Structure 1
Amino acid sequence: MMKGDPPWDALRSFGEVMRDGSLSGAARRLGLTQPTIGRHIDALEAAFGVALFARSPRGLSATQAALDLAPHVAAMTLAAQAAQRAASGDAAQEHGVVRVTASHVIGCEVLPRILAGFSAAHPGVTLELALNDRNEDLARREADIAVRMVRPTQSALVARRLGRTMIGLFAHRDYLALRGTPQSIADLAGHSVIGFDRDDSAFRSVGASSQGLSRDAFRFRCDSDLGQIAALRAGLGIGGCQEGIARRTRDLAPVLPGAIRFGLEMWLAMHQDLKANRRVRLLYDWLAGGLTDYLRGRGDWGASAGR
């Protein structure tokens, strides 16, 4: 039973604790102290008459009451942010911050070239790039724009399918000169193949196991996609790489191009409430142009994405 109106500051702190999983993390994000966040949670629990978190030496664990409350607090946060933008006229401004999230590979290998062009054309916009191989929650405003390799399923998002990025096998020319170029999938057994260590999620997502590849075949194992690309460039063996990235590395040569090739969809998404935000829309359209050029194999992708 409700025992009083919960203060907004306490609800906001609750939302950050749910997002970060700790009082200290929420305190850092809000610029408050950990005891203040703790008092806010205590105030909420007193107002609602229920426990929101179970405390243990390992940290906080959300109760069912907290899980039920979280989406409502997230909606209130979005509404408050929208009201602030409307009151300040911020949505019409070209200056300010835009936060983009993407995977480590896209964020390190593809986006910087596109973002450099945007930054030169729109110097008033501050760019933030959050790299994470999990999907950031746009509904909770963890980012303004997301580049995703799967179709977004959250409601209230504006999403655009940009195309497919193709993944093939490549190797450094020095490696092939030393070890020879395989002529069939069976020939890979005599080569150093680069692949995953313990995390096979990306491997399964493209159906690579159906091509006769497995962990046992990998002579170099690394769960980081960036680590695998670095290994390719260093000549450690044969491995998978996005064709657009491989084309930019002169010393990488395709291996079995007709035998092993996978495709991943690329999507660009933002929250529907940001459609009228000028700086977010500018970057969204710029990214759409640059990434489409990348997927189509244009050599100058990113050079004039906003044209």
Structure 2
Amino acid sequence: MQSFDWTLIQSFLAVAQSGSYSAAARKSGRSQPTIGRHIEQLQSQLGATLFQRATKGYDLTPTGRALLDHARTMQRAAAEMSLVTEGRAAEVRGTVRITASEIVATYILPELLAELLAQEPELQIELVATNSTENLLLREADIALRMVQPMQQDLIARRIGVIPIGLYGAPSYLARKGRPQQFEEIANHVLLGYDRSDLMIRGIAALGFPIKREDFAFRVDDQVTYMEALRAGVGLGACQKRQAERYGLIELLPELTIPPLPVWITAHSALRTSAKVRRVFDFLTDHLPGRL
């Protein structure tokens, strides 16, 4: 039976999932030439072509598609081995990888993590600011802060609080355009919304106010850019209340009830026996609710 270098399988999965060598390189942290060399080596060992050129990158061949599920099984097995080993670590030292939304990672976590690192000098933190859901089971993160309850098995999840949301405007904008007194009046204002995401459209519709993408005169999906545009007085927008208070934004239509965002902290069950992950998990659980 022929054996394969696991790194070749990792590169195969990265290209299969991302569709190009360059995207696979960014995802895996390897160089693009290394990814290409790994694919060539794997194809040579198998005696089969796994990818074919497409308009934008590479598509799997029938042979590649047939091997994809087997490669994913190997990936899950390797992740489980890593989890078991990690779970036996008894010291608070080494790296813990945290993923959180762009807003939480930018405006809330840095101060908390500064306190934690001051207390734990042997600890290192990797913070991933993303609104996508990182897969804890595949070790893409050790701890995740999410706005939805995770449904995956083998995860420890704890709801640690909610983030109140309101409608806000910067003093500079309100001085220029005036302050709306009822919801219907915001149609006369510049509204900040998302570009490709329909999350805000669906949220406003759920409140009984149908709205179209074009009703937002300023659109951006990056939440940090959205927040900075709101602070700069570009227009009116939804914002976390604590951040709005911190930056002097003025709440509008306080009678408007916007459902708060729940915050869940999650980790793989095997990692809860790791001293370093347990320390970070417990620290965030204890201190984060007061910062939301």
Same fold judged by TM-score > 0.5? yes
Give the residue type in structure 1 aligned to 2:66.
A
**2:287 is equivalent to residue 287 of structure 1:** no
SS at structure 2 position matched to 1:211: coil
Given the superposition, is the C-alpha separation of residues 44 and 132 from structure 1 closer, same or farther in structure 2, using an over 3 Å criterion? farther
Alpha-carbon shift at residue 76 of structure 1 (Å):
2.0
Listed as ranges, the matches of 1:26-41 within 5 Å are 26=25, 29=29, 33-41=34-42
Give the residue type in structure 1 aligned to 2:72.
P
Answer whether contact 2:197 2:221 (CA < 8 A) is retained.
Answer: yes
Given the superposition, is the C-alpha separation of residues 205 and 61 from structure 1 closer, same or farther in structure 2, using an over 3 Å criterion? farther
Name which of structure 1's ranges 213-222 and 268-277 shifts more when overlaid on structure 2.
Answer: 213-222
Structure 1: how far apart are the matches of 2:56 and 2:270? Answer: 37
Identical-pair percentage: 34
Alpha-carbon shift at residue 13 of structure 1 (Å):
3.9
Give the residue type in structure 2 aligned to 1:74.
Q
Alpha-carbon shift at residue 259 of structure 1 (Å):
1.7
Given the superposition, is the C-alpha separation of residues 132 and 51 from structure 1 closer, same or farther in structure 2, using an over 3 Å criterion? same
SS at structure 2 position matched to 1:223: coil
Answer whether contact 1:161 1:266 (CA < 8 A) is retained.
Answer: yes
- 2:176 is matched with 178
Structure 1: how far apart are the matches of 2:200 and 2:20? Answer: 29
Q: Deviations over 1:232-273 (max 9, x none)?
A: 111122110011211211x21100011242322211111122
Given the superposition, is the C-alpha separation of residues 36 and 174 from structure 1 closer, same or farther in structure 2, using an over 3 Å criterion? closer
Give the residue type in structure 1 aligned to 2:274.
N
Answer whether contact 2:148 2:264 (CA < 8 A) is retained.
Answer: yes
Given the superposition, is the C-alpha separation of residues 97 and 206 from structure 1 closer, same or farther in structure 2, using an over 3 Å criterion? farther
Q: Gaps spanning 5+ residues in structure 2: where?
A: none
Answer whether contact 1:156 1:271 (CA < 8 A) is retained.
Answer: yes
Alpha-carbon shift at residue 43 of structure 1 (Å):
5.3
- 1:111 is matched with 109
Given the superposition, is the C-alpha separation of residues 33 and 200 from structure 1 closer, same or farther in structure 2, using an over 3 Å criterion? same
User: What is the RMSD of the two structures over their aligned residues, measured on CA atoms?
Assistant: 2.7
Structure 2: how far apart are the matches of 1:205 and 1:69? Answer: 40
Name which of structure 1's ranges 32-41 and 219-228 shifts more when overlaid on structure 2.
Answer: 32-41
Alpha-carbon shift at residue 128 of structure 1 (Å):
0.8
- 1:305 is matched with none
Structure 2: how far apart are the matches of 1:150 and 1:105? Answer: 15
- 2:68 is matched with 67
Structure 2: how far apart are the matches of 1:290 and 1:40? Answer: 49
Give the residue type in structure 2 aligned to 1:29.
G
Residues paired across the two proteins, number: 286
Given the superposition, is the C-alpha separation of residues 13 and 214 from structure 1 closer, same or farther in structure 2, using an over 3 Å criterion? closer
Structure 1: how far apart are the matches of 2:14 and 2:121? Answer: 31
Alpha-carbon shift at residue 97 of structure 1 (Å):
0.8
Listed as ranges, the matches of 1:96-135 within 5 Å are 96-135=94-133
Given the superposition, is the C-alpha separation of residues 53 and 74 from structure 1 closer, same or farther in structure 2, using an over 3 Å criterion? same
- 2:156 is matched with 158
Alpha-carbon shift at residue 196 of structure 1 (Å):
2.2
Alpha-carbon shift at residue 140 of structure 1 (Å):
1.0
Given the superposition, is the C-alpha separation of residues 217 and 55 from structure 1 closer, same or farther in structure 2, using an over 3 Å criterion? closer
Normalising by structure 1, report the TM-score. Answer: 0.81
- 1:300 is matched with none
- 2:202 is matched with 204
Normalising by structure 2, report the TM-score. Answer: 0.85
Q: Deviations over 1:139-170 (max 9, x none)?
A: 11111111111111222211111222121100
Answer whether contact 1:15 1:73 (CA < 8 A) is retained.
Answer: no
- 1:253 is matched with 250
Given the superposition, is the C-alpha separation of residues 37 and 168 from structure 1 closer, same or farther in structure 2, using an over 3 Å criterion? same
Answer whether contact 2:137 2:268 (CA < 8 A) is retained.
Answer: yes
Structure 1: how far apart are the matches of 2:46 and 2:152? Answer: 29
Answer whether contact 1:10 1:43 (CA < 8 A) is retained.
Answer: no
Structure 2: how far apart are the matches of 1:44 and 1:76? Answer: 22
Given the superposition, is the C-alpha separation of residues 203 and 129 from structure 1 closer, same or farther in structure 2, using an over 3 Å criterion? farther
SS at structure 1 position matched to 2:281: helix
Q: Deviations over 1:33-78 (max 9, x none)?
A: 33541244225644xxx75444446333344324322431122211
Give the residue type in structure 1 aligned to 2:151.
T
Alpha-carbon shift at residue 201 of structure 1 (Å):
3.0
Give the residue type in structure 2 aligned to 1:217.
D
Structure 1: how far apart are the matches of 2:6 and 2:221? Answer: 42
Given the superposition, is the C-alpha separation of residues 43 and 158 from structure 1 closer, same or farther in structure 2, using an over 3 Å criterion? farther
Q: Deviations over 1:168-222 (max 9, x none)?
A: 1001123223332211111112222222233223542575563344333323222
Name which of structure 1's ranges 207-216 and 120-129 shifts more when overlaid on structure 2.
Answer: 207-216
Determine which of 227, 235, 238 is the counterpart of 1:229: 227
Name which of structure 1's ranges 134-143 and 29-38 shifts more when overlaid on structure 2.
Answer: 29-38
Structure 1: how far apart are the matches of 2:262 and 2:193? Answer: 21
Answer whether contact 2:136 2:144 (CA < 8 A) is retained.
Answer: yes
